[in-house]
A and B are shown apart, each in its own frame.
Chain A
Amino acid sequence: MPEKTRDELVRIDYTPPRRDWSDPAIDFEARKGTWSYPAAAKNLRYLGFPNPRDWSPTDEDWQLPENWQQVIHDGLAERLTKYRSLKLFLDVCVRCGACADKCHFYLGSGDPKNMPVLRAELLRSVYRNDFTTAGKILGRVAGARKLTPAVLKEWFYYFYQCTECRRCSVFCPYGIDTAEITMLARELLNLVGLNINWVMEPVANCDRTGNHLGIQPHTFKDNIEFLVDELEETTGVRVNPSINRKGAEVLFIVPSADFFAEPGIYTFMGYLLLLHSLGLDYTLSAYASEGGNFGLFTSHDTIKRLNYKIYHEAKRLGVKWILGGECGHMWRVMHQYMDTMNGPADFLEAPVSPFTGTAFTNAASTKMVHICEFTADLIKHGKLNLDPTRNDHLRVTFHDSCNPARAMGILEEPRYVLRSVVNNFFEMPENTIREQTFCCGGGAGLGNDENMEMRLRGGLPRANAVRFVHEKHAVNRLACICAIDRATLSTLMEYWVPEVDVSGVHELVGNALVLEGEKPRTTDLRGKPLAARKGDADA
C-alpha cells in the first residue's frame, strides 16, 4: 500500500521532449503575449516598403512574395559585402556559451532560443547553407539549414524578441554583437514585408509629422504651452521655450515621448526649468521634434532617412550646435550613426558651453552634446543653485540605459548629476549596472502592449535588482536617461515592484533647481508633496 501510494504520486514526467534546436515550430496562437502585431499596410505604403498587406502571425499563410527565398538570399549576399561585422560575426562564433545566460529574455523565460548564441545561430545556419563550402557539402552536419517558411517564422518570432541591448556583446570574447545581427536580420525580414506595427507606425509618423505619435504642429505647440502652464502652477515661474526659431544658438532635440508621455513630461519640465534658469538661447523644432529614431529597429536606410531631419533643421535654423535630451536609442543613433550618415556638420560650430566656457571636445565633429554632459559641467562649475532637500521624499537608484551605457559609455555624468540633486542615492548590484546593465525588456520596438508578457519576463532581471535596493534601502525612485525606459520601466515596476516610480534624471534636477522669482515649492514637478523639513512646522 505505501509503495503504491508513492508510485501514484511520483511518476510524472516533466522533461520536455528532446528536440534538436534546428527544427523550428512556433505556435503563435499558443504564444500570445510574446509577439508583436504586424505592421499595418497603410504604414508600409506610406514609407514605400515592400509587401504591404493585412496579415497575422497566427495565419498559416503569411502572404509572402512569390520569390521570397531569393529576395532574402540576395539581401543577405548584399549585406555580407557591405558589413564586415555581419560576415565576421557569422563566421567566428565558437559557441562557447559565455553569452548564453547574459540575455534578459533568456534569464526571464528560460527559452533556450533566447540565448544570444542561438538567436544568431538562426541566421547563421541559413548563412552556412547558402554561403559556406562546408555548409553546402555537409548540410545539417555542418549546422546548415535551408530557409523554409518555418525557419522564416522563427526568425520573425526571435528577431522581434531581441531588444538590441548589446549586453551579450560585452561578454563575447570576439565582441559578437547580437544587436548587429538582429538589425540586419530585421532588414532581411523587412524585404519580404515582415515587420511590426509598433516600429513601423512610429517610423511613418516621425517621417511625416516629426514625432512618433503623429501629432500635428499646432497640437504640438498647444501641448508645450500646456506643460508650461503646469510648470508655472508648480513653481510660479513662467518659462518661454521657442519653436522653430531661426538664429537661436542651440537646437534642443528630445525624444518626443518627453512631450506627451507620463512620466516623460516631468523630465521635459526639468529640461525647461534648467534651460530657463540659465537663459540659454535655444529653440525646439516642431519639424525635427523626434530625437528617437525607430529606423534603428528597421533598417540602416531608415535610420538615415529619419535622422536626416536633425542636421537639415539645424542648418535651416542656423544654430551653432545641438543639445540632446535623455534618450537611449536616440543617442545610439546620434553618437554612432548620425555623423557618418548625414554629416559632415560643417555648418555648425564645435560646441562650447556659454556658461562655463567648457569646450565639448568629445563632440567636436557631430556638434551634439548630451544634456547630462552639459548639466554635469554646469554643476561642476557651480553654475546651478540646487536644493537637493527638495528630493528628500525620494530614495533614488539609477538604471543605466543600454545604449548610452554600451554604445557610448555615459556612466558617470548622470551619476554626478544625481548625486548633486538628491541626498539619497543607492546603486544596484554591480553586475546589473553600468556596462552590465539589464535591459528594460521593451527596447527595439518591443514596448507594445500585445507583447506584455515577454516584456515582463525580459524585465525580471532588472526588476529583481530594483527590488533588492527597494528592500535594502527603501528605494522608491528609479532614475534613467531613456524615454523608452521611462515608459517601459514604469510598467515593469507596476508589476514587479509597485512601490517604485520611474523618472528621468532631469526631472530630479528640476525638483532641486532653485529659480529666480519662484514661489516656495510645496510639491515636486509631479504635484507630490515634498518631505517635511526642519523649520516647516513654524510656517
Chain B
Amino acid sequence: MSGLLQVLQEKRKALEERWAELVFATYPEQSVAFLRRERDRFANPLGATIRSEITALVEGLLAGADAAALTAPLDAVIRVRAVQSFPPAEALRFLFQFKQAVADVLGDDAGGVPPGDYFALYARLDELALHAFGIYVGCRERVFEIRAREATARTYSLLKQAGLVIDTDVAGGPPACPPVEGRS
C-alpha cells in the first residue's frame, strides 16, 4: 500500500466528512446546515444521499476499485444533481472536490507524500470523472425520454385505439422479418 492511501485510510472519516461538507457547500447557504445536520434519510433525502454515497466513493477510491464498480454511488449522486439547478459543469464539480478534501485533511502531512501517489490516486479519479460524464448524460437523456413517454401516456388509450402505438408487452415483439444481408 502506498503512503498516501495509507494516510488517507487512517483519516477516512475526516475525508468523508470534508468531502461531504464541500458538496453541501454547493447548495444555497441557508440550506447547508440542514443538509449537514438532519440525519433522517427520509426527512433529508438530499443530505443523506450525498453522505452515504460519498462514503461509498471514498471507500472505492482508496481501495482502488475501478470506475465501473462505483457506478451505483456515482449514479445516486449524479441522478440528484442532474435535475437540480446546476449547469453540467457544476453538477459534476463534486467529484473534483475530492482533491480539495484530500488536501484539507492531509494538512501539513501533504509535504511528505510522494508525488507519484497523487498521480495514481487522481488518475483513478479522472477515470471516475469520465465515467461520471456518461452517467450524467444518461440522466439528462432519461429526463427527455420520460417527457416524451409522458406525452404518449396521457392519451395512451386514444393513441392505441387509433393504432398509433404498439404495446410490445402484449404483442410479444415485432413479427419476424427476412434476414438482412451481411448481418449474422
Q: Do A's and B's CB atoms come within 8 Å in the complex?
A: yes
Give per-residue flags for B67-98: 1 if the beta carbon is below 8 A from chain A beta carbons, else 0. Answer: 00000000000011001110000000000000
| Number of residues from A at the complex interface, CB < 8 A | 61
A9 touches B157 (CB 8 A): no
A260 touches B158 (CB 8 A): yes
Smallest Cβ distance from A279 to chain B, in angstroms? 25
**Chain B contact surface mostly:** helix
A226 touches B160 (CB 8 A): yes
Q: Write the chain A residue with the least CB distance to B118.
A: A5
- What CA separation (Å) do A9 and B110 show in the bound complex? 12
Which chain B residues numbered 14 to 47 have a C-beta less than 8 Å away from chain A?
Answer: 22, 25-31, 34-35, 38, 40-46
Q: Given the complex, which residues of A lie within 8 Å of B35, measured CB to CB? A: 110
A491 touches B28 (CB 8 A): no
B158 touches A112 (CB 8 A): no
Asked if A527 is at the interface (CB within 8 A of a chain B CB), the reply is yes
**Of A172-180, A317-325, A448-456, the one touching chain B:** A448-456
Asked if B104 is at the interface (CB within 8 A of a chain A CB), the reply is yes
Contact residue among A111, A456, A468 (Cβ-Cβ distance under 8 Å from B83): A456
- What CA separation (Å) do A111 and B27 show in the bound complex? 8
Q: Given the complex, which residues of B lie within 8 Å of A223, measured CB to CB? A: 157-158, 161
Give per-residue flags for B158-184: 1 if the beta carbon is below 8 A from chain A beta carbons, else 0. Answer: 101100000101100000000000000
Contact residue among B28, B31, B49, B103 (Cβ-Cβ distance under 8 Å from A10): B103
Contact residue among B30, B45, B112 (Cβ-Cβ distance under 8 Å from A107): B45
Smallest Cβ distance from B32 to chain A, in angstroms? 8
Q: Write the chain A residue with the least CB distance to B45.
A: A464
B42 touches A261 (CB 8 A): no
Q: Given the complex, which residues of A lie within 8 Å of B79, measured CB to CB? A: 495-496
Q: Write the chain B residue with the least CB distance to A12.
A: B100
Asked if A16 is at the interface (CB within 8 A of a chain B CB), the reply is yes
Asked if B151 is at the interface (CB within 8 A of a chain A CB), the reply is yes
A226 touches B161 (CB 8 A): yes
Asked if A262 is at the interface (CB within 8 A of a chain B CB), the reply is yes
Contact residue among B42, B107, B146 (Cβ-Cβ distance under 8 Å from A452): B146
A9 touches B103 (CB 8 A): yes
Give per-residue flags for A255-284: 1 if the beta carbon is below 8 A from chain B beta carbons, else 0. Answer: 001011111010000000000000000000
**Interface of B toward A, CB cutoff 8 Å:** 22, 25-31, 34-35, 38, 40-46, 48-49, 79-80, 83-85, 99-100, 102-104, 106-108, 110-112, 139, 142-143, 146-147, 149-158, 160-161, 167, 169-170
A-B contact pairs, 20 of them (CB 8 A): A6-B110, A9-B102, A110-B35, A112-B28, A112-B30, A112-B31, A226-B161, A260-B156, A261-B154, A261-B156, A265-B157, A429-B42, A456-B143, A460-B46, A460-B80, A461-B45, A464-B48, A468-B41, A495-B143, A527-B167
16 extra A-B contacts, CB within 8 A, seeds A259-B157, A460-B45, A491-B149: A2-B112, A5-B103, A5-B110, A6-B103, A9-B102, A14-B25, A14-B26, A107-B45, A109-B85, A222-B161, A226-B157, A431-B42, A453-B143, A460-B80, A468-B41, A527-B167
